[in-house]
Each structure stands twice: as C-alpha cells, then as structure tokens.
Amino acid sequence: MTDLAQSMSATSAAKRGRPKKDPATAQARQKLIRSGLIHLTERGYSSVGVDEVLTHAGVPKGSFYHYFRNKEEFGGQLISAYHAYFSAKLHISFSNPKLPALKRLAAFVEDAEAGMARHGFRRGCLVGNLGQEMAALPESFRSQLICVLEDWQARTAKCLRLAQDEGTLSSTQDAKALAAFFWIGWEGAVLRSKLERDAAPLRIFSNSFFTLLTA
C-alpha cells in the first residue's frame, strides 16, 4: 500500500526530548507495521501468520519478538498506525477551505474509492476487517477499535455541523447521529466492495447518504 507506507514513513520520526532509539530497530518495526497493514487490510488478523509478515517485510524470521512482545501487541500497534494514517486523510478532506462542507465529505468518499480501486478492491478498512473478526480477537482490540470509530465519527459530525452553518444541511438534523449512520453504512459498503471487487456498493451508499442529507 504505497500511499499508506509513505504516510507511515513520514510519521515515524522520534519526538524531541525522548532518548534516541536504535535506527535499525525502529526501521525494522516500521517495515513490520507496513507489511502488517497490507496483509491485514487484505486478509484479516486471524489468517495472517507472523512468519509471512516477516518474510514480506524482509526482516529475519525469529526476530519478531525482539520488536513486539506478542501478536496482540503487534495488532494494537497496527490499529494505532492505521488510525493515524486514516485520520490524516480525513483531516485533509475535511479541512479543505476551497470546498463547502458537504463537498469535503464527498471528496473523502471519492478519494477512498480511488484508494480501493488502486489495489483492485482487494484491500478494505483495517478497522472494519477487525470488527468482523472480533469474536476471535484479543479483547483489548475492542475498546481500541471503538475509540477509532468514535474519532472518525466526531470528525464527520464537525464537518456536518459546518454544513449546517453554511445552510446546506438542515439545522434540524442531528449531525452526531448522521455521522454515526455514515460510518456504519460506509464500513458495510467497503466490505461489500471488497467482496464484489467493484465500486458499486460504495457509490450506492454514498449517493443515498447525500440524497438523505439534501432531501
């Protein structure tokens, strides 16, 4: 996932004031996280083994536990990395001063569809994928995934409230409820598009959502 990998590389620098870390160790961790994100957005957590992530990342087998205590910690790091990556994408779309608020949301939808199309609709949303597997996953993932979705919903609700201020969305609408509705439907549409290897489910949902907003 080239765009995701570039974003990960850009955010991997150590914060000021913290002790310097071994560059080789930090680089290997980032390779494993990038590889993990690719594998898990395609296939999910349960079906991906540690060895294949190591092989894909070009990190020696047997060294995984030098970088992560266990697969659960690795999964938690992947959720955090994906959250940071995806929140940055939302920020870019939702803070575009050249577009009115509803067009900003539409721009995010178009960008997300283009991202799935670049990979032949083989890769879905990490958060959605893990949510589908939750019954077989470490319980620690549950609250982390919920927090991620709540953050995305809060960002979307803020965008919708801006649309209300602009007069393009009725002030009687509940922006918070609409944002939750969007993400519930959007994650389902992503899953269906991945299943069908086609953009149609994304377009059906987004067109229906924007029709609901402007009715």
**pLDDT tens digits for range 146-185:** 999 999 999 999 999 999 999 999 999 999 999 999 999 9
> Does pLDDT of 2 surpass 60?
no
Question: How many whole angstroms separate alpha carbon 64 and alpha carbon 61?
Answer: 7
pLDDT tens digits along 77-100:
999 999 999 999 999 999 999 999
Structural domains of the chain, with CATH: 2-214 (1.10.357.10)
Q: For residue 3, what pLDDT is reported?
A: 53
Phi and psi of 50, rounded to 5°?
A: -60, -40
Nearest to 78 by CA among 120, 27, 41: 41
As given in the structure block, the two tokens for residue 134 are 């939750």
Tell me, what's the pLDDT at 159?
Answer: 98
Task: Please check the confidence at residue 130 and state whether its pLDDT lies above 60.
Answer: yes
User: What digits encode the pLDDT tens for the residues 180-198?
Assistant: 999 999 999 999 999 999 9
Q: How far is the C-alpha of 27 from the C-alpha of 22, rounded, in Å?
A: 9
Q: Where are the beta strands (DSSP E) in 14-173?
A: none
pLDDT-derived band at 44, boundaries 50, 70, 90: confident
Mean pLDDT over each residue of the chain, to the nearest integer: 90
What is the pLDDT, as a whole number, of residue 24? Answer: 81
pLDDT of residue 116: 96
* pLDDT over 70 percentage in the chain: 90
